[in-house]
Structure 1
Amino acid sequence: MTDALITRLAARGDGMTDDGRAVPFSVPGDLVDEFGAVTPGAHHQAPPCRHFPTCGGCTLQHVDDAAYADYLVDRIASALASQQLSAEIAPPHLSPPRTRRRASLRAERQGKRVLLGFNEGQSRKIVDLAECWILAPALFAMLAPLRTLLGTLIADRRGAGVELALADQGIDVLITGVEPDGLAAIEAITDFAKAHGLARLSVDGGYGPEARWEPEPVTVTLGGVAVALPAGGFLQATADGEAALLDAVRDGVGEAKIVADLFAGLGTFALPLSMSAKVLAAEGARDATLSLKAAAARAGRQLVADHRDLFRRPYTAAELSRFEAVVLDPPRAGAKEQVAALAEASCGRIAYVSCNPATFARDARALIDGGWRIEWIRPVGQFRWSTHVELAASFRR
């Protein structure tokens, strides 16, 4: 029996032969024999991290950049094809290794030892990270001292969540699932945050984040404006990925002077666009809306922040027709309810940012049925070596 050629990567990262055989940890160009043994091809690389493939933080470290870029394009093209659509898809932007500026980790105490890292793939077991090729070095360097602190906060055989982010003032830490008990624990948190120069250390025991250390208000700069960052607030995963998405949004919006930014978050796109246009920024999260509103007011930007749940109360076609361009950046569920109205609106441009090719394709179908067309799509690989696909797309009437 002759060896079979791996020709593509499936959605979950397995290599696939033309006859539909799935082969884990194979790459297009590899050969696989009848027993499943893989002969590496030109695009099969040595995974750099000792934790691969156990750690669930990465699933495609064995794939080189060229094959990974093809995988991102193929995921988008396949999603479009499922809706009988096609479009021009540009070469992907890939974030470099060790540039992730936010991460959600898990911790567990086992006797005197504290495990801290990502879960194993398809498991709740924690990989205790001794190295990491995706986290920014400053975040990874915080793991060892955090293990010591967590040893004083977590009971034996119990767990906690740890969210890390790089803010303007330094590292922002949110520990969830613990309730510091007694003066000693409170002092340990304060001493730890001070000793390691943290921007903020917050704890959430189940009633919402509470800052235990924040010597000055924690912010993130967007479009030249410092915006208050809520504990656990959303940031694009990498700074260069954010820049790539912003460039695409600017190209999609063009010279529009009146813009609506829907699912605006803290103002990732709204604040840069407000430098040259009047912007309505709609966001369902109250804390993010308040942060954006205050920041825009301090900076004197032409920006109105609207606290609005766009799933339950989308803007109407008549409301959207007042704008020259609309930016959409919905969560993974997409923007089905809002897109239905947008399909009928008379604005001329849409810049759509998505983290889910399937819901993007569904929404694109609705827009095209409403008289829009896709100009281009640009994939962005912020979550290097993962199966997570992001994109920005331009629609025109």
Structure 2
Amino acid sequence: MTSPDPDLIVRIAARGDGVTADGRHVALSAPGDRLRTDGSIEAGPHHVTPPCRHFPQCGGCQLQHLSDEAFTDYVRDRVAGALAGQGLSAQEVAAPYVSPPHSRRRAGLRALRLGKRIQFGFSEQGSHKLIDLRECPVLDPRLFALVAPLRALFATMLPDRQPGEADLTLVDQGVDVVLSGLRVDGLAQTEALLDFARENQLARLILIDDDAPMTIWEPEPVTVRFADVLTGYPPRAFLQATEDGEAALVAEVRQALGGAAMVADLFAGLGTFALSVANDVPGRKVYAAEAARDLVMALRAGGNRLPGRIFPEHRDLFRRPLTPAELNRFDAVVLDPPRAGAREQVAQIAASQVPLIVYVSCNPASFARDAVMLAEAGYRIERVKPVGQFRWSTHVELVATFRR
């Protein structure tokens, strides 16, 4: 049996570096590349020309040099590898879902004015230096269309050498824009902001001044939609990165829940899962717990459109997780915690008798750590679905189904 070529790149590590057969990490390499003796890379079949002029300096993407096949493999291996690192495996690792280019529906962009020169875009990889964005194969075109107008706006209202920010989100009415760092001193500048919102047909324009949000423009209430259920959208509230990625996550949750009649949705947010699945099964009731008060209020308003289906509660699940006695009322628990995972709540679930757990995660590492507690309590990982919403990024999400 021949030994593997020690200079061959055989996989991509969690942070995006290629790894040779003998364990060396090589930046900006792809599976099938070879590391030459001088440290340069001999490109293999999965090393492609990046589609964006700003790569690799821009911090938005780390893996544009990978072929579609290699990137999809990375998404799958990122999840399977995190489980293997904890001594776990799933009965099935489903084919990954990967969002297409030009599908990102939210973005946070930064601005800096240096004299008459304005920079506007994402930060460089591992730096506070800005990339002045001139193209972006990741953003939805409706977001990118605002880059040039926002650059011009910041050029007139951003104080010299002071940072500014623009948070953009696609909502039902168009693009919701939240700006910070601008100096708005009088009526003329306020009218200029109104003109900007009107000319660019914004859904809403909010100005953050001394940490207090002020709505400048909102011709009609801003909403988002989950399974045709409308709910209000608080400024900067969390939404899944892409609409298609959200649909992939919801479809996997829906499949896992089957006919479960009593469902708990923990870390429910605006109701991405609660509102999407509440009407799937006759008589289904969904309890939804969320710590952010504005999100609970929006979820409650959306739930009012499904009378007797949604039961929101304002509850911090890190400080006050549901107890086994509370959990035992449910046929299934859906949880979608922040990146750090849900150690406190998972410990309570592990001590409960809930037969079905559907864990949605944006961090395979913290998910795998939590999964150990469930495995030790007798749950088996029936299926894991990797989802790559963040195209060409090392950020990977998943849905895992646990049963016992």
Query: How high is the TM-score relative to the length of structure 1?
Result: 0.97
**Distance in 1 (alpha carbons) for counterparts of 2:306 and 2:263:** 18
Of residues 16-25 and 319-328 in structure 1, the stretch that sits farther from structure 2 once superposed is: 16-25
Alignment match, 2:249? 245
Q: Which 5+ residue runs of structure 2 have no aligned equivalent?
A: none
**Distance in 2 (alpha carbons) for counterparts of 1:108 and 1:10:** 33
**Distance in 2 (alpha carbons) for counterparts of 1:85 and 1:178:** 50
**What secondary structure does 1:246 align onto?**
helix
Counterpart pick for 1:117 among 100, 115, 121: 121
User: Structure 1: which amino acid aligns with 2:182?
Assistant: V
**Distance in 2 (alpha carbons) for counterparts of 1:198 and 1:284:** 29
Q: CA deviation at 1:84?
A: 1.1
Counterpart pick for 1:229 among 228, 233, 237: 233
Alignment match, 1:293? 300
**Distance in 2 (alpha carbons) for counterparts of 1:102 and 1:339:** 30
Whether contact under 8 Å (2:18, 2:30) holds in the other structure is: yes
Alignment match, 1:177? 181
Of residues 141-150 and 199-208 in structure 1, the stretch that sits farther from structure 2 once superposed is: 199-208
User: Structure 2: which amino acid aligns with 1:334?
Assistant: G
Q: Does 1:22 align with 2:25?
A: yes
Alignment match, 2:52? 49
Alignment match, 1:167? 171
**What secondary structure does 2:201 align onto?**
coil
**Distance in 1 (alpha carbons) for counterparts of 2:45 and 2:392:** 17
User: Structure 2: which amino acid aligns with 1:114?
Assistant: I
**Distance in 2 (alpha carbons) for counterparts of 1:272 and 1:389:** 22
Query: Aligned-residue CA RMSD in angstroms?
Result: 1.2
Q: CA deviation at 1:301?
A: 5.4
| Deviations 1:146-200 (CA, angstroms, capped at 9, x unpaired) | 1111122210111111100000000000012335222222111111101111000
**What secondary structure does 1:233 align onto?**
coil
Counterpart pick for 2:8 among 5, 11, 22: 5
Whether contact under 8 Å (1:152, 1:185) holds in the other structure is: no
Q: Does 1:107 align with 2:114?
A: no
Whether contact under 8 Å (1:274, 1:301) holds in the other structure is: no
Alignment match, 1:69? 72
Whether contact under 8 Å (2:6, 2:20) holds in the other structure is: no
Structure 1 residues 53 and 62: alpha-carbon distance in aligned structure 2, compared to 1, 3 A threshold: same
**What secondary structure does 1:202 align onto?**
strand
Q: Which 5+ residue runs of structure 1 have no aligned equivalent?
A: none
Q: CA deviation at 1:228?
A: 0.5
Of residues 72-81 and 335-344 in structure 1, the stretch that sits farther from structure 2 once superposed is: 72-81
Alignment match, 2:382? 375
User: Structure 2: which amino acid aligns with 1:78?
Assistant: G
Whether contact under 8 Å (1:3, 1:34) holds in the other structure is: no
Counterpart pick for 2:38 among 35, 39, 48: 35
Whether contact under 8 Å (1:179, 1:203) holds in the other structure is: no
Q: CA deviation at 1:284?
A: 0.8
**What secondary structure does 1:51 align onto?**
coil
Alignment match, 1:351? 358
User: Structure 1: which amino acid aligns with 2:15?
Assistant: R
Q: Does 1:217 align with 2:221?
A: yes
Alignment match, 2:321? 314
Whether contact under 8 Å (1:316, 1:341) holds in the other structure is: yes
**Distance in 2 (alpha carbons) for counterparts of 1:3 and 1:225:** 55
Query: How high is the TM-score relative to the length of structure 2?
Result: 0.96
Alignment match, 1:305? 312
**Distance in 2 (alpha carbons) for counterparts of 1:352 and 1:210:** 36
User: Structure 1: which amino acid aligns with 2:18?
Assistant: G
**What secondary structure does 1:174 align onto?**
strand
**What secondary structure does 1:79 align onto?**
helix
Whether contact under 8 Å (2:154, 2:182) holds in the other structure is: no
Q: Does 1:81 align with 2:84?
A: yes
Q: CA deviation at 1:298?
A: 3.5
| Deviations 1:107-132 (CA, angstroms, capped at 9, x unpaired) | 11122232111100000011011100
Counterpart pick for 2:333 among 311, 326, 343: 326
User: Structure 2: which amino acid aligns with 1:315?
Assistant: L
Q: CA deviation at 1:102?
A: 0.4
**Distance in 2 (alpha carbons) for counterparts of 1:179 and 1:229:** 26
Of residues 103-112 and 263-272 in structure 1, the stretch that sits farther from structure 2 once superposed is: 103-112
Q: CA deviation at 1:133?
A: 0.5
Q: CA deviation at 1:206?
A: 3.6
Structure 1 residues 258 and 132: alpha-carbon distance in aligned structure 2, compared to 1, 3 A threshold: same
Whether contact under 8 Å (2:159, 2:183) holds in the other structure is: no
Alignment match, 1:340? 347
Of residues 74-83 and 38-47 in structure 1, the stretch that sits farther from structure 2 once superposed is: 74-83
Whether contact under 8 Å (2:159, 2:182) holds in the other structure is: no
